[in-house]
Amino acid sequence: MNVVVCVKQIPDPASPGKLDPSTKTLVREGKLVVDDSDMYGIEMALQLVGTAGGGEVTLVSMAPNNETAGLRTGLAMGAAKAILVSDDSLKGADALTTAKVLAAAIKRVNPDLVIAATESTDGYTGTLPVQMAELLGFPSITFAKSVQVDGTTVKVDRQTEAGYDEVECPLPAVVTVTAGVVEPRYPSFKGIMAAKGKPVEQLTVADLGIDGGVAVTQEVTDVVAAEARKAGEIVTDEGDAHERIVQFLEQLKVI
Amino acid sequence: MAFDKVWVLAEAFEGKPLTVVNELLTKAREIGTTVEAVCFGGDAASYAADLGKFGVTKVYDVGDLGGALPGVPVASAIAAQIAEGNRPDAILFAQSYDGRDIAGRLSARLNLGVLTNLVGLADDGTAEHAIFGGETLVKAKLTGERPYIFLVRPKSFAPEESGGGAPEVTTIAAPDAGATNGAKISQRHVEERTGPKLDEAPVVVSGGRGLGEADKFEMVEELAKLLKGAPGASRAIVDAGWVPYAYQVGQTGKTVKPTIYIAVGISGATQHMVGMKGAKNIIAINKDQEAPIFSIADLGIVGDVHKVVPKLIEALKGR
């Protein structure tokens, strides 16, 4: 079974985010890392391929400046190869444009299953996987908290407002996984060394032959600071801080 | 007003529209002249009058989906209406599990962009979403062809009835979408939760990594129960598998705006804060005095949650 995992390479979430003052889109220059949300998908894919007893995991990513640092993490975990689309014309691309690019790249692999995170940590638009599924002509199951493949059917426990649903669909399909669906492995030293020799195919928009190029469908009109909350009273616990909480709750007439 | 006709996806549960639907309908009346609703699931006729109270004059009912996940069939039904010339200027969706699926499918089908995670929508169509943990608001407009597709986070607008009568209900068909409509629900599981719902509770008590281990979440549940509130969680302990995803408060989880939010052992990652900074009052207990959560807390207790919370529970029990 061949599985594609969509991988987003993002600015390190530990450092503060920035907006480009002219385009007002997220700055994605500098060193990028693999989005933590995607680690679960990579692990899930590796496990499913392992259970199937054959096939491989391909990572697909779109990132500026031919960035591959995040992809190397996934390759070190055990993915066989990666496809990276990098093109200056994609700067500031919206979710639908990105979905078109990823769908075109995924078609080259002809996978049985495509896995993505429910949403990225930085942009968190949250619609891309389903847009991509529609463009691929695949069914999709979102918010998977467990995934199994049985022959040509994928079986998913899908998170709902009230609990979860057991959902099935025939392959090929797109599945989005929630964090916690599996515990991602740490790359081994051997894996890290092996990753250096694994193929990363680098493509441009022209290579993908996307019709109509890149359309801009939205315009950022303004960026403003949100109304800030102020810090209030800080109490260091000397064994009686709970009394201050009780008082506070009394003031608010909650108790 | 920027829009003539506005549609709202009216999701329902157990025969009642979700609270967020009332929020969206209230906003739709503000930005549009005519407000209509799209329903699915098969029991729209039973709650159409509830939608009328919030200004809906017409309901398009896709009906029972035969066990299919809603994304594909509902998007197909909406796309078919548009192809026939029944074209709204804007469609509002909740940023919910099914809302995202339907909006995503529709966006790709119509080749139109979407604006998501909205917390504000002005009547000229300018939408607002928060980034960097809610510190910054980005205002954006869709351009090009209509309908504009907007996904709105729950709790962004206060619901207000308009006192309208029962709307007309029209059945609309979902054309066969072939292989894309392959996802079918075989079994539903409703997890019993006692007490108020997380996103409606006046008091929310959330636990994070600072609890140390999964078993200590009981402390959070007990405190929530004593205050007649709901327990919640940070992404860290949901990822760790201590509690289900449904408990998660934050960017990738629920937005809550309770009267009181108590953060127990939560440091305050931006991804968490965006989901709870709208609370009227915030109490934070954390042993690290540098924790970012203290920068937005009305009352911050620098201390060990394993000492402070049991004493607090005892004190509340003794009242």
Mean pLDDT of B248-256: 89
Which site among B145, B239, B314 would you substitute to test the A interface, given the most A Cβ atoms closer than 10 Å to its Cβ?
B239
Across the interface, do A219 and B141 touch by the CB < 8 Å criterion?
yes
Domain count, chain A: 1
pLDDT tops 70 at residue A189? yes
* Residues of chain B with C-beta less than 8 angstroms from the C-beta of A230: 296
Mean pLDDT of B158-168: 95
Q: How high is the ipTM of this complex?
A: 0.93
Q: Model confidence over A147-188: pLDDT tens digits? A: 999 999 999 999 988 889 999 999 999 999 998 789 999 999
Architecture of domain B203-317: 3-Layer(aba) Sandwich (3.40)
Q: Model confidence over B33-67: pLDDT tens digits? A: 999 999 999 999 999 999 999 999 999 999 999 99
Query: Is residue A184 situated within a structural domain?
Result: yes
Q: Which residue in chain A has the smallest CA separation from B290?
A: A234
Query: Is residue A136 situated within a structural domain?
Result: yes
pLDDT tops 70 at residue A213? no
User: Nearest CA of chain A to the CA of B182: how many Å?
Assistant: 5
* Residues of chain B with C-beta less than 8 angstroms from the C-beta of A16: 132
User: Which of A135, A180, A237 is opposite residue B238, by nearest beta carbon?
Assistant: A180
Q: What is the pLDDT of residue A117?
A: 95
Query: Is residue A219 situated within a structural domain?
Result: no
Q: What is the pLDDT of residue A143?
A: 94
Q: Which domain holds residue A141?
A: 3-208
User: Which of B135, B180, B235 is opposite residue A139, by nearest beta carbon?
Assistant: B180
pLDDT tops 80 at residue B238? yes
Q: Would you place residue B71 in the very low, low, confident or very high pLDDT band (cuts 50, 70, 90)?
A: very high
Domain ranges of chain B: 3-181, 203-317
Q: Would you place residue A136 in the very low, low, confident or very high pLDDT band (cuts 50, 70, 90)?
A: very high
Across the interface, do B69 and A167 touch by the CB < 8 Å criterion?
yes
* Residues of chain A with C-beta less than 8 angstroms from the C-beta of B139: 220-224
User: Going by CATH, does the domain composed of B3-181 fall within 3.40.50.620?
Assistant: yes
Mean pLDDT of B257-269: 96
Domain CATH code at residue A104: 3.40.50.620
Query: Is residue A76 situated within a structural domain?
Result: yes
Three-state helix/strand/coil letters over chain B:
CCEEEEEEECCEECCEECHHHHHHHHHHHHHEEEEEEEECCCCHHHHHHHHHCCCCCEEEECCCCCCECCHHHHHHHHHHHHHCCCCCCEEEEECCHHHHHHHHHHHHHHCCCEEEEEEEECCCCCEEEEEHHHCEEEEEEECCCCCEEEEECCCCCCCCCCCCCCCEEEECCCCCCHHHHCCEEEEEEECCCCCCCCCCCCEEEEECHHHCCHHHHHHHHHHHHHCCCEEEECHHHHHCCCCCHHHEECCCCECCCCCEEEEECCCCCHHHHCCCCCCCEEEEEECCCCCHHHHCCCEEEECCHHHHHHHHHHHHHCC
Mean pLDDT of B112-140: 90
Query: Is residue A220 situated within a structural domain?
Result: no
Average pLDDT, chain B: 94
Across the interface, do B114 and A249 touch by the CB < 8 Å criterion?
no
Mean pLDDT of B305-309: 97
